[in-house]
Amino acid sequence: MAEIKVMKDILGENDAVAAENQKLFTEKGIYVLNLMGSPGSGKTSILEKTMEKLKDKLRMAVVEGDLFTSKDADRIEKHHVPVIQINTVGGCHLDAKMVQNVLPRLDLDNLDLLIVENVGNLVCPAEFAVGEDEKGVILSITEGDDKPMKYPLMFKEASVVVLNKVDILPYCNFDLKGAEEDIDTLNPGVKIIEASCTKDTGVDAWCEWLQDRVAAKKQLAAK
């Protein structure tokens, strides 16, 4: 019972800091996406494609969450977009305080879109808001079509779900229609995008979705 109480306290504290972050982002008119998914689902690959396509259209920055290395941040930095690495030193998720701590290193007055790439983990990150407007989940089709129902929280909380690596569907036993129905059952009407970074499939749809969200946030912030 003590463990449950402690967990509630931690989540309560986290929510308070997340609300502070959210307030700041809204004042600045920045749309923030908390991007989650399993290790190897393709989060960084999608971001690299996003940089290529959007960096001249939007002012973007990325916060990279990793346990130890800066491998992902190094990949983002090549695209000349501001990127900040947070190492959780073994921690399984980013929390609002970690993100708050690095915000002074970003030029928030000149930013439209901030993407927070969370630690690769289909479970824990869903429980910790970082101040985002919305959450996104990337699921690689190589992970299996049973995953939405087995790891429902993240899919329930997401505003967009990307089914990634569809180029290797012919070599995997993945029921695309069934998985999409499961996701829609968990989260009716959620935006679902089928994508392949290597074949550049669905990446335009993803970028359009992001641009729409950024525009909506600007409108909201201007009110």
CB nearer to its own copies: pick between 180 and 209:
180
- Could you tell me the smallest distance in angstroms from the CB atom of residue 31 to its own copies? 27
Sign of CA dihedral 68, 150, 47, 125: negative
CB nearer to its own copies: pick between 3 and 56:
3
- Could you tell me the smallest distance in angstroms from the CB atom of residue 25 to its own copies? 25
CB nearer to its own copies: pick between 24 and 172:
172
- Could you tell me the smallest distance in angstroms from the CB atom of residue 86 to its own copies? 14
Burial category of 183 from C-beta neighbours within 10 Å (exposed 0-12, middle 13-18, buried 19 and up): buried
How many helices and strands in the chain, by DSSP H and E? 8, 7
- Could you tell me the smallest distance in angstroms from the CB atom of residue 121 to its own copies? 5
| Binding site residues, its own copies, CB under 8 A | 3, 6, 10, 38-40, 66-69, 71-72, 90, 92, 119-124, 127, 140, 142-144, 146-147, 149-153, 165, 167-168, 171-173, 198
Q: How far apart are CA 218 and CA 19, in angstroms?
A: 18
Q: Would you say 86 and 63 are in contact if contact means Cβ atoms under 8 Å apart?
A: yes
